Structure 1
Amino acid sequence: MTSALSLDGVFLVPPEHHVPDTDRAAATQLLGCDDRTLDTLVRRGLTVRDDRFDGRDLFNLALHSGTGRTVPEQAFAFSLRWMRGTAESLLAPRTLSFTLTAACRCADVVLALPRPDRYGGAVIPAPEADVVAGTTVSATIRTEGRAVPLRSPVLRGLVEEFAALGVRWVKLPDALREDESLVTTHRVATCESASRWLARRCREAGYAARTRIGWVVGMLDLVHAWVEVTDDDGETKVVDLIFAGFAAGVPGANPLLTDPAVALRTNRLVPTGFEVGARVARHDCDAPVTVRIKPVKE
């Protein structure tokens, strides 16, 4: 990473997907720069239309700037501080309150349920299905982590291959979020596209694999994605390429998070019953969907 704002290595939203939703004042605040620096970035290729920018371009530029001063960098540093924790803190059972809300009045709203019971945890009340009708889902959930060896040298090789690509996690338009071709053509990925890439490579190598979506406790309410793959010992294990990549940039991160020989499922992972391509909320408008997952004192 560099110590100053630079477009080197930054993937800009393609023109057909560009949304000029951020004005100059907000842009300089997000990037932590002045107008002169912003003008320099524009001259070097940062897309601008009618003096407005795509917020995703600004976010990606700021997150990977290496300055340590931008809003996205500071937000991620705060959200990922748990990666410095002990193995016990990553694996121990946790009790959490869960609330998923669709802020709309659509007649037919269907929300995904948390399913930590698929990973040895529990949901109270116990779900009978993977979805429920309504604008709010509330439950008490129990999660637990697991760290086991990834026994297949082929699977370990795929994890190492992805790490060697130097892929950056970025915000992308919805139309590109699952585009796994960007992993190799531009070295960028969302958790969805990285998971699709790995699941496909696993299947090509003869291993049963599927993607899974859900949430990570404390991670900015983002929907996350990872891979479940059946290892040589017959056990299905979780492999999370993006979080391994995040951990690689966190000073003092627990080495379990980045070890290609370990399949780590942290106690912060809250799965749904769905793969990449599904949505945690199905409704007929663009109203925001938020999740709140908070610790419950025992």
Structure 2
Amino acid sequence: MSLVGGLRDVVPTPPEHRVWISRAEALDTLRCTPEELAQLVAAGLVEEDGRHDYCDVWNVGLLSGTGRSSPERIMIFFARMLKSYGADWVSARAYEIVGWAQCPRAEHCPSSEWSAPVLPDVQWQHEEIQAGRAEWRGRVELTGNTATVRDPRVREVWDDLLRRYRFHFTPMTLSSDVAGTRHRGVGDCDSLCQVLMSELLDRGVAAEQESGYIFGGARLGLHSWVRLVDADGEVKILDPAMALLSDLFFTPEYKAFCCGSGSNRVLRRASREGMFAAHPCVTEDGRIFYEFTLRSIRPGRAPGPRCSEGAG
């Protein structure tokens, strides 16, 4: 494959939903040369005043097969974590977690008022407020479970979704558009969950979307999945985004795991709005995202900063 080959499989972001990034950001995301970016533009990658659409660029990288783009590197990290099967995906894992939020006014921020992130499984142990920035440190233990969906109605909807759709990075303004996702045949975790829940409801199956974060590297990424009560009375998890990505980067075993099982790499959030920090400087047209990193606590190692941190 190639970057131009990846572009052929990209469903472009509708013009009214584009989020522009600079040429430098596009080059950094794709890890490509200016000549390669020019070839992409000649092949149809949208360019306007030297800018490119964020999701189009990320989708080109995801589908390119070069192995060097930012989205591929994230997926390769996942693939290393998921190469072993079974207990590794569900066993209890302890992590140190750091969360932070940064005001766009930086050191000129006039307020020290911040709200700590609401993550049901996290125990925050330390808070530090500086000019324009807040940071929280704590720990969390994540555990998954292995299960299989029994309800034939759910299996039918699931199999149909995996046949008809592909994963694409999608702007937040488009994720909730179920009709648009159906028309385009591509979507991210949010939009795929919306379609899945709509199809399940049409068959009389109640389901709810849950949101949180997924451990795909040091920094956590936003993620969504579907929770429902199966025919056997047990709660099951459906993760359509990771199942579709399994065809590109992971294993058939992990794809099957996504139909019913819960991963120990997923961290719940109290609400969808909980991804944004409450802060007096936040305006109606701008939001401040919480950011998080996780670091495994190995048996026998006390939590705390690494010895090399701060060393010259």
Question: What interval of TM-score do these two structures reach, taking the shorter chain for normalisation?
Answer: 0.7 to 0.9
Name 1:165's counterpart in structure 2. Answer: 164
User: Which secondary structure does the structure 1 equivalent of 2:97 belong to?
Assistant: strand
For 2:112 and 2:135, the matched residues in 1 are separated by: 13
- The answer as to 2:269 corresponding to 1:264 is no
What RMSD, in angstroms, separates the aligned Cα atoms of the two structures? 2.6
1:46 and 2:45 matched: yes
1:1-298 matched pairs, under 5 angstroms = 2-6=1-5, 7-23=7-23, 25-104=24-103, 109-116=114-121, 123-124=122-123, 135-170=134-169, 172-219=170-217, 220-251=219-250, 253=251, 255=253, 257-259=254-256, 262-274=259-271, 277-283=272-278, 284=282, 285-298=286-299
| Aligned residues of 1:5 and 1:67 also touching (Cα < 8 A) | no
CA distance in 2, matches of 1:194, 1:5: 26
State the distance in 2 between where 1:18 and 1:254 align: 34
Q: Secondary structure at the match of 2:11?
A: coil
The whole-number CA distance in structure 2 between the counterparts of 1:288 and 1:228 is 25
Measure how far apart 1:163 and its partner are. Answer: 0.9
Consecutive unaligned residues in structure 2, runs of 5 or more = 104-108, 126-132, 300-312
Whether contact under 8 Å (1:156, 1:260) holds in the other structure is no
Counterparts of 2:247 and 2:38, CA distance in 1: 32
- Runs of 4 or more, structure 1, over 6 Å off, are none
Q: Secondary structure at the match of 2:12?
A: coil
The 3 A distance-change label for structure 1 pair 222 and 147 is: same
Q: In the superposition, relative to structure 1, how do residues 261 and 85 fare at CA in structure 2: closer, same or farther (>3 Å)?
A: closer
Q: What TM-score, normalized by structure 2, do the two folds share?
A: 0.79
Aligned partners of 1:98, 1:260: CA distance in 2, in Å?
A: 26
**TM-score, normalised to structure 1's length?**
0.82
CA distance in 1, matches of 2:256, 2:189: 18
Q: 1:86 deviation in Å?
A: 2.3
- The answer to whether the 8 A contact 2:123-2:140 is kept is yes
| Alpha-carbon separation, structure 2, partners of 1:261 and 1:72 | 20
SS for the counterpart of 2:65 is coil
Indicate the residue corresponding to 1:131 in structure 2: none
The worse-fitting range, judged by mean Cα deviation, of 11-20 and 88-97 is 11-20
1:271 maps to a residue whose letter is R
Distance in 2, Cα, partners of 1:19 & 1:29? 16
- The secondary structure found in structure 1 opposite 2:182 is helix
TM-aligned CA deviation for residue 282 of structure 1:
3.6
Q: Deviations over 1:209-251 (max 9, x none)?
A: 1000111123442111000011111222111111112222225
Structure 2: which amino acid aligns with 1:281? F
- Taking the aligned partners of 1:182 and 1:148, their CA distance within structure 2 comes to 32
| 1:179 alignment partner AA | D
Report the 3-state secondary structure (helix = DSSP H, G, I; strand = E; otherwise coil) of the residue aligned with 1:21: strand
SS class of match (1:64)? helix
The 1:139–1:69 alpha-carbon spacing in structure 2 relative to 1, beyond 3 Å, is closer
Residue correspondences, number: 278
Q: Distance between the aligned counterparts of 2:137 and 2:252, measured in 1?
A: 32
| 8 Å CA contact 2:91, 2:144 repeated in 1 | yes
Tell me: higher relative CO, structure 1 or 2? Use CA pairs within 8 A at least 6 residues apart: 1
Shift of 1:3: 4.1
Which stretch of the first structure deviates more once superposed, 52-61 or 83-92? 52-61
Tell me: CA distance 1:94–1:28, structure 2 relative to 1, closer, same or farther (3 Å): closer
Identity %: 23
Q: Which structure 1 residue ranges, 5 or more long, are not aligned?
A: 117-122, 127-133
Change (3 A) 1:68 1:54: same
- The alpha-carbon deviation at position 140 of structure 1 amounts to 1.7
* SS at 1:185 equivalent: helix
